[in-house]
Chain A
């Protein structure tokens, strides 16, 4: 049974470039979250998907950030025109059942913007 996987594990990009980060949740998990882990800010919620409902985008820090989830499974987080302050580890998590259930986290993608 595979856990949550994310790719790439590391991404180095130049300021101003766009990046796409991928998350494969655990099969059958209907809820998917993106978080960001950065020095000094800790872990911050970015966006939440639940089934076919409209996503909760309340944590996205700017309109340069967007995410989609295709077919209720794989999700991609896109950051346009990256800035140095976007450098962080981006974590994906999925869960099944109620909102108090455990969220299973992926290993993260470390993004470095030069």
Chain B
């Protein structure tokens, strides 16, 4: 079945460092790909998405490019801030059908130190 694998955390960075969180997927067809973020004490929020190959999703300085050839959707940010400390989840929605249920990776906890 479909699955998502993302790098295990926790990841600890200093402010203004470069961030990469790796995410790879296994799916049939052409899934849609998402990054969700969970800030401390808050619910999951959509960060960005890409629905077809070579699409780049971006939001709040974060970017991820849908790479079908490597089945990857790595999350990147050029300069992280303390406020980016959160748990990040990579997810996919299978191609076709109407359900739209998401398949999540296990999450990567990011801590940014001032």
From residue A100, how far is it (CB to closest CB) to chain B in Å? Answer: 5
Contacts of B99 in A (CB 8 A): 48, 50, 56, 99
B77 part of interface (Cβ distance < 8 Å): no
Q: Using C-beta atoms within 8 Å of the partner chain, give the interface range for chain B.
A: 20 to 34
Beyond A91-B43, A106-B43, A108-B43, is A100–B97 a contact (Cβ under 8 Å)? Answer: no
B89 part of interface (Cβ distance < 8 Å): yes
Query: Which of A43, A59, A101 is B89 in contact with, Cβ under 8 Å?
Result: A43
Chain A residue with minimal CB distance to B97?
Answer: A99
Per-position binary interface string of chain B over residues 21-32, scored 1 when its CB falls under 8 Å from any chain A CB and 0 otherwise: 000000000001
Q: What are 25 sample pairs from A and B whose C-beta atoms fall under 8 A apart?
A: A3-B43, A4-B43, A35-B102, A42-B107, A43-B91, A43-B102, A43-B107, A48-B100, A48-B101, A50-B98, A59-B101, A91-B43, A93-B44, A99-B93, A99-B99, A100-B32, A100-B93, A101-B100, A105-B36, A105-B43, A105-B44, A106-B43, A107-B42, A107-B43, A108-B43
Chain B residues in the interface with A (C-beta under 8 A)? 32, 36, 42-46, 49, 51, 89, 91, 93, 97-107
